[in-house]
Each structure stands twice: as structure tokens, then as C-alpha cells.
Amino acid sequence: MRSGNTNRSELKTLLVFVLALTIFTSCKKYYATDSSDDDQINNIAGHEEASDYIWNDSQIIDITLNGTSITENSDAITTEGSKATIISAGTYRISGTLTNGQIIVSTADENIVRLIFNGVNITCSSSAPVYVRHATKVMIVLADNTVNSLTDGTSFTTNADGEPDATVFSKSYLSFFGTGSLTIDGNYKDGIACKDGLIIKSGIINISSADDGIRGKDYLIIKDGNITVNATGDGLKSDNEDDTDLGYITIENGSVNIVAGGDGVNAQTNLLINDGSITITTGGGAATSTGSTSGGGRPGTSSGGYTGTVSAKALKAGTKVTIDKGTFVINSADDAIHSNNSVVINGGTLSLASGDDAIHAPTSITISNETMSITKCYEGIESALITVNSGYLSLVSTDDGFNATKGQATEANDGSYLYIKGGNTVINSSAGDGLDSNGNVEMTGGTVVVHGPQSSPEVGIDVNGTFNISGGFLFVTGPNSGNMIEATSTTSSQYAIKVTMSGTLGTGSLFHIQDASGTDLVTYKPVRTIYYVVFSSQKLTSGATYSIYTGGSSTGTNSDGLYTGGTYSSGTLKKSFTVSGKVTNVSF
């Protein structure tokens, strides 16, 4: 039999539970549209907590802005003319207009300060309209269906540290949340600047700024929302240079639209994009960059690309760029995607136009599961180690398409590598090499089509080491570059042919190969006049005989120069040949 003490203990536990449930249901709960257990798992230790988004309406303190004065009725606020200073933690609802005023947060409390913007219009001509001087953490809540705006002047009165220097300036952790809108007109420097960590959980935020748009020193995390930035400097930025665990940017979801004179998204360490719709224009766009369209990066020749003095990259990280998913439209004067170390693309739909490299990382670039269209660039993808695992990539460049290099122009094997393991890759390099490796190339699967350059000395394949192919479909064209013309290596396990012509084949004619039974191996329509073809396929076998035709027609579908399906007919037989080695040379 249970004792009376046990019964009383259980009753006490039940009463505590009921009381907690009553308090919880009486509170106003605000969660973003993606509220889930994952949000709590991803909370920033010591900063964001699930309880930040829960408060009691009955405890809200109202602040009314009256143009040149402020009305409030709380000991937690001190006012002086059109300046209000919040000195205690709590939840404050602010509404109205200040023609030249300021909201300051300066508390010694450990608890959160919430500023509910409920139709706020604040102009401050000489400082930050919202200035978080001291607090543990501050959340700006954009109330449902409200329109809010903050405007500063072109000159500030600052302290010895040059602070504040933004329309919304915080010395402490800062977050934004809600479904309302906030428009920031930053005439002095930054739109939003935080000397700690900055989280945007939701909301509609529109910023124009004389320098950076949104800056979180320790980190900047965008969980969701609709964000538009027009910045003279960088669009989004995290710039902690002292701690390698900080200085990162994470975009989990949402819509981000950036026009920047500098970098679009600039992380001191890591940049991670999990999902979202990202549109970025930097430095006026790719069309503003002009560079040499000759040279191909060979020793003793000129190089081209972006020549501006200000970094104008779209996605930039000091350590690593990781893209897991999302839709990207990038138009950048400088590199479209840039890391000082590595880039990993695990998926997403990307449209890139760059005045310099489309993707650049000195250590490694790994691409998988993506749909990527690079419509303009100087060099396409450049790194010491490039790996293509899967996905679809269409690349148009004026110089090299792929450039595996350790950074120095050389005709010796520098140990760099290009691995092609799968996917569908189409390269159109008008004045550079299609596949260029200062080291080696290894292809084990996938489809690669290279529309080679228009004139010598550039070639479709330029490899200082070996090009070993053991699987996949490879089709490469190029101009008459004499002894510069390369095929795959004879150490390959898959057979290849190198076809050279006495003349050239123009864009109005087809190039066709079929086996002895008439089965099509490839039908190709040149993008520009070609002199040679390098072709490798698992369908090529030793001792088998094949025939090459030009001209004629195909009832198939032309995709990236290759015809699929349908029937080829009425061509002119140019040469029949037998595969006799790992690379068979054919001429006609």
C-alpha cells in the first residue's frame, strides 16, 4: 500500500504540471513557419533559445512615438525628448513615428529584451535609430501585418571605437523575427551591424546601405524570411578574424536578393547554404568585367578576367563554401563562387554568370547532384583537386572550362587532379582549353562533351600528366593546333580514337560514327568549325571496325550538340577503321 506522503507528492507534481500548462497556454507563442524540433536542436548555445519566441501579452510594456516626443509608463524606460533608453529586460511594444529620435537598449540583465515593432517609423540624423549598447540578447519582432522603417543620416556622432556605425547597431546578440516588414535606409554605413551573433528567423527585411547590408561579427544565420539588400559594400557579412570557430554564415532557407558593389555573401570562415532562393548581382554584373580572351593561362601569355580593385564575388568564404540545395541566380563581376580553401556543392539549381571564375577554390572543388548552367565566365572551374560525381553541368567560358592547377602556370605535372566520376558535363570554351589539368585527369563514368576553342594554340584537352579513362562517354572537338592536340592516355583501360581531318567541318554539317552493323555510336553537330575529334566510349572494342560519316541528317533530338534517338541518314562516308590500340589515330 502506498503511503500518504507518496500520494501528496504525486498530487503536488500534478498541480505543478497543471499550473505550468496554464501559464504556457496564456502566453503568446510566436514560431516561424518552419517551427519544428530541428529549430531547437539548431539553437545557438548561449544565445538563441526556444523560450525567446514565447512571451506573455499581459507583460508587454508599450512605448508610443509621437514625432518629437515619446510616451511610456514604466520604470524600465528613461526618456529624454525623442530618445528612449530601455534599462531592464522585458518585452516592449513600440509604435508611432520619431522624426529625429532613437531607441537605445542598455541593460545589465541576463534575460532577453524584445522590441516589438508595431508600425514604427524612426529617423535619426546623427546616430543609429536603434542602438543596442548593452544587453545579453535582443530580439526585434516585426508584428503581424505591420510596416516599419528606420532611416539614419549621412554622418554619425560615434565613440572612440567608431560606434555605432549602422542603422540598427548592436553590441550584443541580436535576432529578427515576425511576419511584418522592416525597411532600412542606411545612409551612413551598414544597414544592420552586430558585434556578436546575428540571427534572422523570419520577416520581410529590405535594406539599402552606404556600406555593408547585414553584418554579424561572430556569425550570421538566416533561418527564413524574405530579405532584399542593395549595398555599396558587401551584402551579407560575418567578419570575426580572431576565432576560427566563428565568422561564419548559414542560410537555412528563405528568399535572399542582393545587389552589392562588393561581395554578395562574405564569410570569414565557412559559408553553408542548406536551401532557399538566392539572387545575387555584384560589381554591376559579369558584363562589367573585360579581360583577354586569348592566352589560355599558358606561360608567357596574358591573362584576363576581373581587373577591379574591390572584391566583387557573389558567394565567398575564407575556409569553405557548402551548398546543399536551393535555387541560385548569380551575376557577378568577380568570381561567382569562391573559397580560399574548398567548395562543396551537393545539389541545387544554379545559374552563374561571372566576369572571372565561375567557381574557384585552391584546395578542392566537389560537385554532385546539381543542375548548373554557367552562361558566362573567364575560367569555369579552377582548383588543385576537382571532382565531378553527378548532376548536370553546362559551362560556357572564354578561357579554360576546367582548370586543375596548383596555381602556377606550368607545362610540367604539378600533381593536380580532375576526377570525372559521373554526371553530364558540357563545356563550351571559345578561346581556352576545355579540359585543362596541370596534373592528371581520371574519368570513370558520366558523359563529357567539350566544344573546343575556335583557334590554335588552344585545344579541347590539355593535360600535363595522364588522362586515364575507364568508363563513361567522352566527345571532344577542337581546331588545328598541330602537335598540341591531345587524346586520352594509352594507359587507359577504355578505348578511344583521335580523328583529324585534312580540312575542317563547319557548323552546318554532322559528324557521325557507326559500327559495322550500322548501329550509331555518336552523331554530333559542331558548335564551331572543328578540325579534330577525340571520342571514347565503352562501345569501342578492340578489333572492331567502325565508319565515320559527315553531313547527312538525323531525326533524333539535338541536346548540347549530341543527337539522341532517331535515325541518321544520307551522310558521306569518310573513313572506315579498326580499333587497334587504346588510342587509335584516324585521319581523312
Both 392 and 523 in a single domain?
Answer: yes
**Is residue 37's pLDDT more than 70?**
no
Residue 360 within a domain = yes
56: left (phi over 0), alpha (psi -120 to 50) or beta: beta
Both 321 and 354 in a single domain?
Answer: yes
Q: Give pLDDT, residue 288.
A: 83
**Is residue 567's pLDDT more than 90?**
yes
Secondary structure tally for the chain: helices H, strands E: 2, 59
Q: Give pLDDT, residue 290.
A: 55
Both 341 and 202 in a single domain?
Answer: no
**Is residue 75's pLDDT more than 70?**
yes
Both 528 and 580 in a single domain?
Answer: yes
Both 533 and 558 in a single domain?
Answer: yes
Residue 375 within a domain = no
Residue that is written with C-alpha cell 539553437 in the block: 43
Both 47 and 106 in a single domain?
Answer: yes
Residue 217 within a domain = yes
Residue 174: closest CA among 197, 154, 191: 197
pLDDT tens profile 360-399: 999 999 999 999 999 999 999 999 999 999 999 999 999 9
Q: Give pLDDT, residue 408.
A: 87
Distance CA 468, CA 566 (A): 32
Residue 546 within a domain = yes
Q: Give pLDDT, residue 303.
A: 55
Both 388 and 430 in a single domain?
Answer: yes
Domain encompassing residue 276: 239-251+262-290+304-367
Both 197 and 60 in a single domain?
Answer: yes
Both 44 and 193 in a single domain?
Answer: yes
Q: What percent of the chain has pLDDT over 90?
A: 88
Residue 16 within a domain = no
Residue 257 within a domain = no
Residue type, 522: V
Residue 152 within a domain = yes
Both 78 and 213 in a single domain?
Answer: yes
- The pLDDT mean for the chain works out to 91
Q: What's the first-to-final CA gap in the chain, in angstroms?
A: 103
Q: Cβ(180)–Cβ(147) under 8 Å?
A: yes
Both 224 and 345 in a single domain?
Answer: no
pTM of the full structure = 0.91
Both 198 and 244 in a single domain?
Answer: no
Number of domains in the chain: 3
Residues 6+ apart with CB under 8 A from 69: 81, 82
